[in-house]
Amino acid sequence: MSKKNQRARALAYGGGTFLLLLFLWEILVRMTDSQIPFPTPFAVIERFVDMLFHNVGYYYTIVGHVLWSLSRVLAGFCMAAVLGIVLGLTMGWFPYVRAIFMPIFNLLRPIAPLAWIPLAILWFGIGEKYKYFLIFIAAFVPFTLNSYAGATHVDKQLVGAAKMLGANNAQVFFEIVVPAAVPSIFSGAQVALSNSWMTMLAAEMVCATEGIGWIIIAGQAVNDMTQMIAGMLAIGIVGFLLANGMRLLERRCLVWNNQGN
């Protein structure tokens, strides 16, 4: 079967299942006798479109809220990328860096980002900094772990080859260890991004006056289930786009790692 055919088939199956689910949802809503009005899929989509053009709350449309959320994710994610990659690579390659930082890192690593919420609010207040901090924590761990793994699994043969060609220690690190670790760093970035996205929601639900997390909480405050579900829809869509964007970036940056094309 040709690749195109296969694609079309996958799309048809996926789309079919999706439509079927919507249909079931619609039916169930019509059959229920729940006291709280449960929105139909059509109502949710209608609200979602409405949110694109009209403000949710006083100031922003849903696009504005998404941008707020994205700005927080971006800030925390980037700080985590810089620090996590540097720490992970150096811990992976230089034994003394590992000796110094590994114990602390291992101790802090299992503490879920959400566990930091109360402390973070005490330290940073309820503004942006607190959210950056939580997202930073969420992304920092996978960045560090994967950079570390990448640096420890460098092919010793290549290190030897570089030394034979006269590389000094700095050259071995920057010319061999760093590029060899890039694929592993990218898989860390995938995890870090989805962690950041989730943690951002939690942070916004605890305290925020804008953002997607806030949309859901605000919906709950007035028993507006349609708004909550429309917010969740936005989370899904943006999260999906982010993950795919990252995958695209990876494919761009790692041409050498793609097999068979």
Partner 1 sequence: MNKNVKVQVTHLTKKFGELLVLNDVSFDVYDGEFLCIVGPTGCGKTTFLNSLTHLYEPTSGEILFKGEKIDLRKHDIAYIFQEYSAMEWLTVKENVRFGLELKKQYKGINEKVKDALELVGLTKFADYYPRQLSASMLQRVVIARAFATQPELLLMDEPYGQLDINLRFRLEDEVVRLCKQTKTTVIFITHNIEEAVYLGDRILVLTNKPTSIKEIVTDELPHPRDIAAPEFVEMRNRITDLIKWW
Which stretches within 109-224 are classed as H helix? 117-124, 128-152, 156-164, 169-171, 178-206, 212-221
**CB 181, CB 151: distance < 8 Å:** yes
- Among 165, 170, 221, 222, the residue binding partner 1 under the rule CB under 8 A is 165
Residue 60 pairs with which residues in a beta bridge? 56
User: Distance between CA atoms of 56 and 50, rounded to whole angstroms?
Assistant: 9
- In the complex, least distance from residue 247 CB atom to partner 1, rounded to whole angstroms: 19
The residue among 73 and 172 lying less far from partner 1, judged by its C-beta, is 172
Written as one letter, the residue type at 92 is G
Q: Residue 158 or 191: which CB sits closer to partner 1?
A: 158
Could you tell me which stretch among 5-13, 67-75, 162-170, 185-193 binds partner 1 (CB under 8 A)?
Answer: 162-170
Shortest Å distance, C-beta 167 to partner 1: 5
- Beta carbon nearer to partner 1, 43 or 159: 159
The answer to whether residue 164 forms part of the interface with partner 1 (CB under 8 A) is yes
Q: What 3-state DSSP class applies to 233? A: helix
Query: Out of 179, 240, 241, 249, which residue is the one contacting partner 1 (CB under 8 A)?
Result: 179
| Angle (nearest 5°) at CA 246 between 144 and 216 | 90
Is 167 among the residues that bind partner 1 (CB under 8 A)?
yes
Under rule CB under 8 A, residue 35 binds partner 1: no
Q: According to the binding rule CB under 8 A, does residue 175 interact with partner 1?
A: yes
Residue whose structure tokens are 């924590």 = 137
Q: How far is the CB of 192 from partner 1 (least distance, A)?
A: 22
What are the distances in angstroms from CA 124 to CA 96, 116, 128, 230? 32, 11, 8, 31
- Residues of this chain that interact with partner 1 (CB under 8 A) are 155, 157-158, 160-168, 171, 175-176, 179-180, 182, 255-259
